[in-house]
Amino acid sequence: MRRGKVTVLIALMLPLCMALGGCSTTLQPENQNYGLSMSIDRTDEGLIELGLLVPSGKESDGGGEDEPQGKDNYQRFFTLGASYTDALDIMQASTPRTLNLTQLKSIVISQRLASEPAFKGLVESLTLTNHLYGSTYVIICLTSAKDFLNAEKPQAGKRLVSELYTSLKHYEQQGYLPLCRLSDLYYGINSIYGDPVVSLGAPVDTSQDVLTLPSGDLGDALPGALPRLGLEQNELMGGALIRDGQMIGVLDGAECRWLQVLNGRLSGFNYVCQGLTLRLECKSRPRVSVDLSKNPIVIDISLQMIPAPLREMPDAEVLKQQLKTELMDLLAHCQSLSVDPFDFAEIAAAQFLTVEDFVRYGWREHWRDAEIRLSVEVVGTQD
């Protein structure tokens, strides 16, 4: 009986725990400034400029350029600091409500900053920022990240969440854009298994309204110069190559497509050969083996593609040769930069006992000089 009373007493006292913390700030949505997109730039003075896109609570009056009347609007905050953490501190201190990064969907970093050795430290700071989750997408902007952020307009209301995801997923399915989350970038920079590739973007130069075609196909154009016009002022296509925590090159959309085929992440796409459009499907994931016993090392890649012509089938031998040339160009491009976005290092690492042994081996140097034996087969046709 007595024990029962004690239990009841403790149970009744339990809610009093709530009062122990005093009057704390609550997590009401209207008291938060939810960042949706972040931009990070290096200024001419060597400072870090941080930008944040936040949904505004009030309706736009439609007075601004390109702002449809009655649509939701964004607020933009920009701060300056000696480092990312300084700029973030100022941002947290100066935004009118509590800064909340839990809903952040994209981080846009300028190419200028990504090409500096300090980029690796920046990525680590971003990863360790409290409540900035690793699932946030990272985009490297060929021009100013601030311009990219300013060009973000709500096309479908305030829900950049689904809008951005939908567009990124769509671009990825075409094969022209490798998606890269913050954690992918961080793991890729620090992991022994290969180098990361980050989505490439740029705002359109609105001063020009004349469309020009790129020299090759659509995939040969870089963002900001795509032969298109539309409401969306930011373009996404291609990838930024990262080596040792620093951007060292660019892949165009077509190269990104082949990269994703070799990584086994893209199974089919539309392709043009001899002026004829066809769909290419990978029969299976590419088979890759790495022979470390030879000098230079030998990497065997075997790829089987199934063509499905729209109207007429191009010459199989020409098609095969074209595929092989494009793939070899991509591999040679990455070898010349000593960057391995294909994750061949994963296969090589399995042949060592410890991580230290593999690091001591110096995969990057061996990869640069590796002999590539590429076999592309065009098998059967799909109707």
Partner 1 sequence: MTFTLNRRSAASLGRWAIGMRLFSAVALDGAPLGNSGWISLALAGLMSLPLVLMISFMSRAQPEASPISLIEEAIGLWARRTLCLVLSMFSLYEAGVSTRMAVTCAEYVAFHQTPTLVLTLLPICVCGIACLRGGLGVSGASQVLRYLFFLLIGGMIIVEIGSMNWRWLMPVLGPGVDPLLRAALSYSGMTTALASIWLCMGEETGLDRTGGTEYKKTGPFYPLKILGVITLGAVIAALLLTVLAPSLPGGPNARDFALDKLLANGLSGAPLQLPLMLVWFLAQALMLAFYIYTASFLLKNCFEKLPWWACVLVVSAVTAFLAFSGITDRAYIDKVNALIRYPAVNVILFAVGAVSIIKQRGKRVAKG
Site stretch for partner 1 (CB under 8 A), options 18-26, 72-80, 232-240, 369-377: 18-26
Do residues 180 and 137 make contact, with C-beta atoms less than 8 angstroms apart?
A: yes
Site stretch for partner 1 (CB under 8 A), options 72-80, 115-123, 231-239, 340-348: 340-348
**Segment 110 to 129, residues that bind partner 1, using CB under 8 A:** 124, 127-128
**One symbol per residue from 188 to 207: x for binding partner 1 (CB under 8 A), - otherwise; what is it?**
--xxxx--------------
Closest separation between CB of residue 31 and partner 1, Å? 10
Site stretch for partner 1 (CB under 8 A), options 51-59, 68-76, 216-224, 355-363: 355-363
Site size for partner 1, by CB under 8 A?
48
The answer to the question of residue 24 lying near partner 1 (CB under 8 A) is: yes
Gap between the Cα atoms of 125 and 85, Å rounded: 7
- Block residue for tokens 């990312």: 84
The answer to the question of residue 169 lying near partner 1 (CB under 8 A) is: no
**Nearest CA to 146 among 250, 47, 246?**
47
Taking the least distance from each CB to partner 1, the nearer of 135 and 206 is 135
Gap between the Cα atoms of 156 and 38, Å rounded: 19
**Segment 304 to 323, residues that bind partner 1, using CB under 8 A:** none
Gap between the Cα atoms of 276 and 310, Å rounded: 8
Closest separation between CB of residue 9 and partner 1, Å? 10
The answer to the question of residue 181 lying near partner 1 (CB under 8 A) is: yes
The answer to the question of residue 358 lying near partner 1 (CB under 8 A) is: yes
Gap between the Cα atoms of 371 and 352, Å rounded: 20
**Segment 57 to 86, residues that bind partner 1, using CB under 8 A:** none
Gap between the Cα atoms of 184 and 251, Å rounded: 18
Site stretch for partner 1 (CB under 8 A), options 180-188, 235-243, 297-305, 308-316: 180-188
Closest separation between CB of residue 343 and partner 1, Å? 8
Closest separation between CB of residue 260 and partner 1, Å? 15
The answer to the question of residue 18 lying near partner 1 (CB under 8 A) is: yes
The answer to the question of residue 135 lying near partner 1 (CB under 8 A) is: yes
The answer to the question of residue 27 lying near partner 1 (CB under 8 A) is: yes
What's at 375, amino acid-wise? S
The answer to the question of residue 349 lying near partner 1 (CB under 8 A) is: yes
Taking the least distance from each CB to partner 1, the nearer of 77 and 358 is 358
Q: Among 10, 12, 210, 231, which residue interacts with partner 1 (rule: CB under 8 A)?
A: 10
Closest separation between CB of residue 346 and partner 1, Å? 4
Site stretch for partner 1 (CB under 8 A), options 103-111, 130-138, 197-205, 325-333: 130-138
The answer to the question of residue 93 lying near partner 1 (CB under 8 A) is: no
The answer to the question of residue 26 lying near partner 1 (CB under 8 A) is: yes
Closest separation between CB of residue 175 and partner 1, Å? 18
Q: Please give, one letter per residue, the 3-state secondary structure of the chain.
A: CHHHHHHHHHHHHHHHHHHHCCCCCCCCHHHEEECCEEEEEECCCCCEEEEEEEEEEEECCCCCCCCCCCCEEEEEEEEEECCHHHHHHHHHHHCCCEEECCCCCEEEEEHHHHCCCCHHHHHHHHHHCCCCCCCCEEEEECCCHHHHHHCCCCCECECHHHHHHHHHHHHHHHCCCCCCEHHHHHHHHHCCCCCCEEEEEEECCCCCCCCCCCCCCHHHCCCCCCCCCCCCCEEEEEEEEEECCEEEEEECHHHHHHHHHHCCCCCEEEEEECCEEEEEEECCCCEEEEECCCCCCEEEEEEEEEEEECCCCCCHHHHHHHHHHHHHHHHHHHHHCCCCCCCHHHHHHCCCCCHHHHHHHCHHHHHHCCEEEEEEEECCCCC
Q: Among 11, 12, 210, 231, which residue interacts with partner 1 (rule: CB under 8 A)?
A: 11
List contacts with partner 1 (CB under 8 A): 3, 6-7, 10-11, 13-14, 17-18, 20-22, 24-27, 98, 124, 127-128, 130-131, 133-135, 181-184, 186-187, 190-193, 343, 346-347, 349-350, 352-359
